[in-house]
């Protein structure tokens, strides 16, 4: 796949990685009797606030911290073609001693290629019932 992921694909991906987009109450000024204020944002599985954006940024930091950690013993290879296309393969061993699942991503931006490769591995694992 050489296209950029859509916002909906990114949202589904991050939610599949355990992140949550939710409304949270915040304290406003500490004056009694005020209506509570709320904001929407992304939160990590440990409850840490990540971003106010409606779609969490797809970058190498977020991918390595929240997506690759879902995989057991991930191994990644990358290749850059002369035309600037990045090809990324992500290998994932579901169990010790078992064959690796492989996901391949192709895009002009490295983070998009890595997204597609991780997404493919996760979808294969879900399909296989793990």
The one-digit pLDDT tens for each residue of the chain (130 residues) are 458 899 999 999 999 999 999 988 766 555 555 666 777 889 999 988 898 888 888 999 999 999 998 888 888 999 999 999 999 999 988 777 777 889 999 999 999 999 999 999 988 877 776 5
Total of domains in the chain = 1
Q: Is residue 2 part of a domain?
A: no
Q: Is residue 16 part of a domain?
A: yes
Q: Is residue 90 part of a domain?
A: yes
Q: What CATH number is attached to the domain comprising 73?
A: 3.30.160.20
Residue 78 confidence (pLDDT): 95
- CA gap 65, 9 in Å, rounded: 18
Residue 123 confidence (pLDDT): 87
Residue 1 confidence (pLDDT): 46
- CA gap 21, 93 in Å, rounded: 29
**Encoded tokens for 86:** 């990045």
- CA gap 35, 25 in Å, rounded: 10
Give yes or no for a contact between 43 and 20, defined as CB atoms under 8 angstroms apart: yes
Q: Is residue 48 part of a domain?
A: yes
**DSSP annotation of 64:** I
Q: 């979808």: which residue's tokens?
A: 123
Residue 110 confidence (pLDDT): 94
Q: Find the domain containing 117 and state its range.
A: 7-127
Q: How far is CA 49 from CA 11, 22, 24, 56, in A?
A: 16, 10, 10, 11
Q: Is residue 1 part of a domain?
A: no
- The alpha carbon dihedral of 14, 5, 57, 117 has a sign of positive
């Amino acid at each position: 796949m050489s296209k950029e992921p859509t916002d909906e694909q990114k949202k589904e991906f991050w939610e599949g990685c355990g992140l949550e987009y939710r409304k949270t109450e915040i304290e406003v000024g500490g004056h009694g009797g005020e209506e509570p204020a709320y904001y929407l944002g992304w939160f990590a599985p440990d409850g840490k606030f990540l971003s106010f954006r409606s779609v969490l940024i797809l970058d190498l930091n977020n991918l390595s911290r929240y997506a690759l950690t879902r995989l057991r013993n991930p191994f990644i290879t990358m290749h850059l073609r002369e035309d600037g296309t990045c090809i990324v393969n992500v290998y994932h061993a579901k169990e010790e001693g078992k064959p690796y699942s492989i996901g391949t991503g192709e895009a002009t931006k490295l983070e998009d290629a890595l997204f597609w490769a991780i997404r493919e591995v996760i979808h294969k694992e879900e399909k296989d019932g793990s």
